[in-house]
Amino acid sequence: MTSFSEYTFSENFEVTEEVRRDFDEYGYILLRGVLDQEELSMIEKAITGSDAITQHLYYDTEYEGKKTDKVMWSHPGSDVTGMVARSKKIAGVMEKLLGGEIYHYHTKLMMKEGGIGARHVWHQDYGYWYHNGCLFPDMGTVFLALDPCKKENSCLQILRGSHKCGRIEHRPVKQQYAVDEERRVDISQRCPHQYIEMEAGDALFFHCNLIHSSSDNTSNRRRWAFLTAYNRASNNPIIEHHHPQYTPLHQVPNMAIKECMNYTNMEGKIFLDPKRDSTIKTNFRKHSQA
């Protein structure tokens, strides 16, 4: 089914007034075919070709017997994954959607294996980032599908246009934080529930206040995704925390991805360590219990 805000990538793709209008209206754009098979294979090699990335795997806690493996890092670096996050077709597009200079807030690899991948409850990214000292919701995430993402293997679900509701109060739900359920139900009467089914290489650019979730992966197929979050330079957080303060982002041409031969040198990325980075939940809990 065609998305309400769907486009097909080419090297001539531009963020036109129509594209920006769709992002502002629906809270996202879905850009098909951003990465080709060669680029997807390069990311796979960076992830599985050595332990340079996977040695940093973690999961918070199991959710009803299921879990999602994650890796998160603060700065893009100069390896293949860094070139993706710095490329014009990812960072450059998001910069135009957010309407000003952006910087890399973090990148996260989400690895939902078949049969055991855990759900993520309904939430807004800004529901968390608000507590990190980001005063304005001038932020967004690019969800890059490394595998086909379908209903059966836990594609993203959204409430279309829900970013217009502003930040919703979040409450603890098991080991996660979710938008207030009563409010979410009310919002869903006005903002349609939509499954965002994607092919490998597609990218969803979405606003930090868009309410979204994903189900358990009960299929026999994995669902890996590469998510890069960006913040407006003008929205530099007012408190130090586990994600970076404003750091200039050096964007690179799209061809830099295929030209990059660095699969193992992760210098400068600064991987998140939940045992070390105590502000991951501290800020949220401090405010949510106030």
- DSSP secondary structure string, 97-125? HHTS-EEEEEEEEEEE-TTTBPPEEEE-H
> In CATH, what number is assigned to the domain containing residue 203?
2.60.120.620
113 is a domain residue: yes
Domain that holds residue 242: 6-288
In the chain, what are the helix, strand and coil shares in percent, each to the nearest 5? 30, 25, 45
Q: Indicate the pairing of strand 223-232 with strand 139-145.
A: antiparallel
> In angstroms, rounded to a whole number, what is the distance separating the alpha carbons of residues 232 and 247?
11
Using DSSP's 3-state secondary structure scheme, residue 261 falls into coil
Angstrom distances, CA of residue 119 to CA of 91, 146, 174, 289: 27, 18, 12, 24
170 is a domain residue: yes
Q: What pLDDT, on a 0 to 100 scale, did the predictor assign at position 290? A: 41
216 is a domain residue: yes
> In angstroms, rounded to a whole number, what is the distance separating the alpha carbons of residues 203 and 2?
15
Q: Which residue positions in the chain have pLDDT lower than 70? A: 1-3, 60-63, 277-290
User: Of all helices (H) and strands (E), which one includes residue 225?
Assistant: strand 223-232
Count structural domains, the chain.
Answer: 1
> In angstroms, rounded to a whole number, what is the distance separating the alpha carbons of residues 231 and 220?
35
1 is a domain residue: no
Counting beta carbons within 10 angstroms of the beta carbon of residue 267, is it exposed (0 to 12), middle (13 to 18) or buried (19 or more)?
A: exposed
Q: What pLDDT, on a 0 to 100 scale, did the predictor assign at position 1? A: 47
Q: Indicate the pairing of strand 120-123 with strand 212-214.
A: antiparallel
Q: What pLDDT, on a 0 to 100 scale, did the predictor assign at position 48? A: 97
205 is a domain residue: yes
Counting beta carbons within 10 angstroms of the beta carbon of residue 38, is it exposed (0 to 12), middle (13 to 18) or buried (19 or more)?
A: exposed
Q: What is the pTM of this model?
A: 0.94
Q: 């982002």: which residue's tokens?
A: 249
Using DSSP's 3-state secondary structure scheme, residue 162 falls into helix
Using DSSP's 3-state secondary structure scheme, residue 217 falls into strand
DSSP string, 47-79: HHSSSTTGGG-B-S--BTTB--EEEEESS--SS
Between the two ends of the chain, the Cα-to-Cα distance in Å is 44
